[in-house]
């Protein structure tokens, strides 16, 4: 999980600002107050999901509300460890109890192994999904959208670039940037 997510904000078809919350919120607050062509849309870059922020008050107050609350509760927060409940079958618990260093260490090792084995395929899948969400929100009414979506999910970058060549510059550039070098 990304500790410092980045966001991109669009007023109409033009990108207003892109960056972490500390840069985004003050610029977003200003852009929202000046927006004449409708609302400013904000997207979380890693997922392509549209997000909303409460921009009332000063930029500092809006930023304080936008930042995630500090984690409290079980676990070791200073180490980034968060305690959560999981449900397993009795045979799974039996196997975990037999592992050296305990169940938590065994689960962490299994997750780390799975993450390292499938890292490239997972990175590509997440990038394609993020670009697809962004395209749906920003380009759903553009000419060639359906064919561009087919090219995206077929992972055909050259066809995707050709089909989106006439799209507004900022929208196209951001969509391709979400894909980075994945496809």
Tell whether 81 is covered by a domain.
no
Same domain assignment for residues 99 and 130: no
Q: What is the pLDDT of residue 143?
A: 94
Q: What is the pLDDT of residue 74?
A: 60
Q: What is the mean pLDDT of each run of 10 residues along the chain (183 residues)?
A: 82 92 90 77 95 90 84 64 81 88 87 81 91 97 96 96 97 95 76
Same domain assignment for residues 124 and 175: yes
Q: What is the pLDDT of residue 77?
A: 63
Tell whether 80 is covered by a domain.
no
Same domain assignment for residues 107 and 126: no
Q: How many domains does the chain have?
A: 3
Q: Are 152 and 131 in contact (CB under 8 A)?
A: yes
Q: What is the pLDDT of residue 120?
A: 79
Place of tokens 């060549």: 165
- Please give the residue range of the domain that contains residue 57: 6-66
Q: Are 127 and 178 in contact (CB under 8 A)?
A: yes
What contacts 35, CB < 8 A, 6 or more positions away?
Answer: 11
Tell whether 74 is covered by a domain.
no
Instruction: Indicate the angle between helix axes 119-139 and 102-117, nearest 10 degrees.
Output: 70
Same domain assignment for residues 106 and 155: no
Tell whether 92 is covered by a domain.
yes
Same domain assignment for residues 91 and 127: no
Same domain assignment for residues 14 and 59: yes
pTM: 0.76
Q: What is the pLDDT of residue 103?
A: 86
Q: Give the C-alpha separation, 45 to 57, whole Å.
A: 25
């Amino acid at each position: 999980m990304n500790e410092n997510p980045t966001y991109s904000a669009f007023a109409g078809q033009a990108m207003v600002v892109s960056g972490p919350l500390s840069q985004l919120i003050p610029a977003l607050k200003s852009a929202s107050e000046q927006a004449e062509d409708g609302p400013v849309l904000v997207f979380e870059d890693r997922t392509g999901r549209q997000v909303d922020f409460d921009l009332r008050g000063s930029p500092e107050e809006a930023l304080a509300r936008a930042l995630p609350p500090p984690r409290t509760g079980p676990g070791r927060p200073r180490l980034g460890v968060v305690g959560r409940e999981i449900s397993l079958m009795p045979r799974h618990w039996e196997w975990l109890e037999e592992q050296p260093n305990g169940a938590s260490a065994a689960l962490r090792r299994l997750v780390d192994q799975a993450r390292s084995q499938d890292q490239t395929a997972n990175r590509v899948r997440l990038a394609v999904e993020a670009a697809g969400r962004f395209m749906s929100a920003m380009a759903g009414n553009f000419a060639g959208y359906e064919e561009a979506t087919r090219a995206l999910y077929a992972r055909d970058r050259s066809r995707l670039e050709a089909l989106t060549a006439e799209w507004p510059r900022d929208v196209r550039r951001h969509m391709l940037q979400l894909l980075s070098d994945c496809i």
